[in-house]
Structure 1
């Protein structure tokens, strides 16, 4: 498996919608493209050479049927009960692939933290701030980009919360 990366301009390798979002935000970030998909946090961390907790997972849930984006570090799992409490929702469940694509404009495994088709509530787990730089999908399962977590959360319009599962 050849996971050597190529670093190119965002416009040439990122999903066009995401590249447009970067331009609109005035962000000039490095986008890396990998020949093999980096759909999971573990795959992305291995390809980049960082720890899974330095990967940002952009996960879509449905809270009482309304899409919500949760930004979580790659080493943690989302505690759905904590998301439900944070939103005051009766029911929170993982969104199906169709709702993810309809809401964000991207397929699962390539959803970036911002640059989505529709505006949604964004919850960002505080643990993301534990790192000087985090890596997130750039709109495809083959592309990632680094950014400081404070900027990433701000550009996503995220609210800092504690929604990760606690380990024993």
Structure 2
């Protein structure tokens, strides 16, 4: 089970006990926010894409949406999310529990700037009923992300 892979991964940092498991689903931003009692934008959702023959993950704030023009400008390719039946095999976690921790070796992780406005965020932990609260610096460290990027819209304050 993917949550056990994440638990084992976090054990090396002595934070495995900080994983929260819920009796209800936290598979969507809204459900996770309800389970945690926090604002939906503080959910660090992990989006999975196919880029050429590679799988990439982009972790973004719960209220952010992928901006296709920004994605294409950064990656020189159209944004193409993985099909639901590809996610578990290519990422190592199933839909609803995708997170940037303990993923398959050939997966590249990116963090979107939409997360930087928060002190702490709540990514999933490999199952559709789990999360962990991390500072943005901890998320950067534990996700093994290769860089911060700006490929999202709808999260900036309106003027």
Q: What is the match of residue 9 of structure 1? A: none
For the pair 1:140 / 2:92, whether they are aligned, the reply is no
Contact kept? 1:79, 1:164, Cα under 8 Å? yes
For the pair 1:129 / 2:89, whether they are aligned, the reply is no
TM-superposed CA distance for 1:121, in Å, is: 2.0
Provide the C-alpha distance between the structure 1 equivalents of 2:75 and 2:43, rounded to a whole number of angstroms.
24
Per-residue displacement from partner, 1:84-109 (whole Å, max 9, x unpaired)? 32123x33301012321112211111
TM-score of the aligned structures, taking structure 2 as reference length: 0.87
Could you say what secondary structure the match of 2:80 adopts? Answer: strand
Could you say what secondary structure the match of 1:111 adopts? Answer: coil
Could you say what secondary structure the match of 1:60 adopts? Answer: strand
Contact kept? 1:82, 1:163, Cα under 8 Å? yes
Q: What is the match of residue 113 of structure 1? A: 100
How many residues in Structure 1 have an aligned counterpart in Structure 2?
155
Provide the C-alpha distance between the structure 1 equivalents of 2:58 and 2:46, rounded to a whole number of angstroms.
6
TM-score of the aligned structures, taking structure 1 as reference length: 0.83
Provide the C-alpha distance between the structure 1 equivalents of 2:17 and 2:139, rounded to a whole number of angstroms.
11
The structure 1 segments of at least 4 consecutive aligned residues displaced by more than 6 Å after TM superposition are none
For the pair 1:51 / 2:36, whether they are aligned, the reply is no
Return closer, same or farther for 1:147/1:26 CA change in 2, 3 Å cut-off.
same
For the pair 1:40 / 2:24, whether they are aligned, the reply is no
Provide the C-alpha distance between the structure 1 equivalents of 2:72 and 2:17, rounded to a whole number of angstroms.
33
Return closer, same or farther for 1:25/1:82 CA change in 2, 3 Å cut-off.
farther
The unaligned stretches of length 5 or more in structure 2 are: none
Q: Which moved more, 1:45-54 or 1:95-104?
A: 95-104
The unaligned stretches of length 5 or more in structure 1 are: 1-12
Provide the C-alpha distance between the structure 2 equivalents of 1:82 and 1:29, rounded to a whole number of angstroms.
37
Q: What is the match of residue 3 of structure 1? A: none
Contact kept? 2:112, 2:148, Cα under 8 Å? yes
TM-superposed CA distance for 1:61, in Å, is: 0.5
Q: What is the match of residue 61 of structure 1? A: 49
